Amino acid sequence: MDKIGIEEMIRTLGRLKTKEMYLNDFFLTWDKSDDEVAATFAVAEILRGLRENNLSSRVFDSGLAISLFRDNSTRTRFSYASAANLLGLEVQDLDEKKSQIAHGETVRETANMISFMADVIGIRDDMYIGKGHTYMQEVAQAVQGGYEDGVLEQRPTLVNLQCDIDHPTQSMADMLHVINHFGGVENLKGKKVAMTWAYSPSYGKPLSVPQGIIGLFSRFGMDVTLAHPEGYNVMPEVEQVAQRNSEHGGGSYKRVNSMEEAFQDADIVYPKSWAPFSVMEERTKLVEQGDEKGLADLEKRGLENNKKYMDWECTEDLMGKTRDGNALYMHCLPADITGVSCEHGEVEASVFDRYRVPLYQEAGFKPYIIAAMIFLSKFRNPADKLQELLVAGNRRIR
């Protein structure tokens, strides 16, 4: 994108209503208005354009971006660090094993102690149903209280880096990839999206990716199909979100129990393993009870049940059923690649290899999406600030 394109996008951003994002958190995509979602995409593209033109987007002279990852992460961890650095913030990880949390420190106390000079807190807590999103809300309430009580000079923004309900940074990066692939959001209406379960030899993958995809993609007038074997349901309330969004956006949403049906004439396919909602609920209860034997038994049952559906794999034959045999294959990564990362997995190696570069490009949008979420929470008039950066023209590399 050249500078003329950046200016045009800044003008577009200026027409969007973003004031409710100012000094606010980013938890769930479906809690954001159409303008707020569009603004997040616009700011991400503008920031990407600035970097492509070797222009600095450092809007912070100092400050911390606190990261708290309660699950393993590669892409999201480094995307968050990249986003913070892009804006001028330094990342500080909160390692709970090295903190006083291990000695009984409360959420309220921890949240305030890490926030004295923090501008943003990114949290990933996705493993237990009913826990991750709730924890993020508790932290948000704690820092709000600290700010109102005069403990904190400013209230840090919270960004959901993945919870048990949604993975907004992933789904929005995925959607920005789709927008770029099809040449603009105006070209998405009527496109068929197949969000399908796929076999994995592992157990307990979170629900938040498929839920994030159906919760966001259904807003754009596309025909969204969720496919999974019987019993591998996602949260019913998220399906209700997808249904409402599709009605509002002029598309459709349906659920089927056949990978073949979902792939038929699809423009986009997203085969990804996840654990059944009922299994995740049961696991949460067993963890709360400290029932190690029960957890081991549940994992064994889960893996055995997965094996019933080993034919749920993204193959060349299935890809041939998509529109013109040329659907956009997507995945949040890492994928379970048959014969490469596992004996039998989500996708054939030949399919994955053909889409390797687009998959990496898909992942590459995440740092800009996270940076956009932070940026929109810090500036009342984001378009004016971005125009200021463009006019200043400070070189990133001199």
Q: Which range (86-100, 138-152, 210-224, 284-298) has the least confidence? A: 86-100
CA distance 150 to 127: 34
CATH number of the domain within which 96 lies: 3.40.50.1370
Output the pLDDT for position 101. Answer: 63
pLDDT of residue 64: 98
Helix (H, G, I), strand (E, B), or coil: what is residue 365?
A: coil
pLDDT classification of 311: cutoffs 50, 70, 90: very high
Nearest to 348 by CA among 359, 339, 360, 357: 339
What number is the average pLDDT over the span 253-280?
97
Q: How would DSSP label each residue in 253-295?
A: EEEES-HHHHHTT-SEEEE-----HHHHHHHHHHHHHT-HHHH
Within-domain flag for 300: yes
**Pair (214, 353) in one structural domain:** yes
pLDDT at 204: 85
Give a yes or no: residue 195 inside a domain. Answer: yes
Residue 178 forms part of a structural domain? yes
For residues 363-370, give the mean pLDDT: 98
Verify that 71 and 186 share a domain, yes or no.
no
- Residue 100 reports pLDDT greater than 70: no
Mean of the per-residue pLDDT values of the chain: 96
Same domain (yes/no): 98, 130: yes
User: What percentage of the chain has pLDDT greater than the value 70?
Assistant: 98
For residue 256, the cross-strand partners are 227
Whether residues 181 and 306 share a domain: the answer is yes
Q: Considering only residues 101 and 228, tell me which one the structure prediction assigns the higher pLDDT.
A: 228
Edge-first strand listing for the sheet containing 223-227: 252-256, 223-227, 192-196, 268-271, 328-329
pLDDT at 212: 98
Q: Is the pLDDT of residue 67 over 60?
A: yes
pLDDT of residue 105: 81
| Average pLDDT for 383-389 | 98
Query: Are 137 and 125 part of one and the same domain?
Result: yes
Q: End-to-end alpha-carbon separation of the chain, Å? A: 20
Length of the chain (residues)? 398
What pLDDT is attached to residue 187? 98
Task: Give the start-end residues of each E strand in the chain.
Answer: 64-69, 90-93, 118-125, 157-163, 192-196, 223-227, 252-256, 268-271, 328-329, 337-338, 347-348
Q: At residue 103, does pLDDT exceed 60?
A: no
Spatial distance between the Cα atoms of 96 and 144, rounded to a whole number of angstroms:
21
Q: Say if 199 falls within a structural domain.
A: yes
Quick check: 398 pLDDT over 90?
A: no
Q: Is the pLDDT of residue 90 over 90?
A: yes
Chain-centre distance for alpha carbon 331: 12
Distances 43 to 13, 76, 373, 384 between C-alpha atoms, Å: 7, 19, 8, 12
| Residue span of the structural domain in which 113 resides | 3-166+366-392
Q: Is residue 227 part of a domain?
A: yes
How confident is the model at residue 72, as a pLDDT? 87
The residue-averaged pLDDT of 129-140 equals: 96
In a domain? residue 397: no
* Torsion region of 104: left, alpha or beta (phi above 0 gives left; psi -120 to 50 gives alpha): left
pLDDT at 102: 55
Range with the poorest average pLDDT among 96-100, 258-262, 390-394 = 96-100
- Domain match, 236 and 199 both: yes
Query: Does residue 398 sit within a domain?
Result: no
CA–chain centroid gap for 10, Å, is: 24
Q: Looking at the structure, do residues 359 and 303 belong to the same domain, yes or no?
A: yes
Regarding whether 209 and 306 lie in a shared domain, the answer is yes
Does 108 share its domain with 55?
yes
* Cα separation, 209 vs 197, whole angstroms: 11
DSSP-derived 3-state class of residue 235: coil
Beta pairing partners, 224:
193, 253
Asked whether residue 54 is domain-assigned, the answer is yes
> What confidence tier does 361 reach under pLDDT thresholds 50, 70, 90?
very high
Q: Are residues 259 and 281 in the same domain?
A: yes
Residues 252 and 312 in one domain: yes
Is the pLDDT confidence value at 34 over 70? yes
Number of domains in the chain: 2
- Say whether both 295 and 209 belong to one domain: yes
216 has a pLDDT exceeding 90: yes
- Indicate the DSSP class of residue 167: -
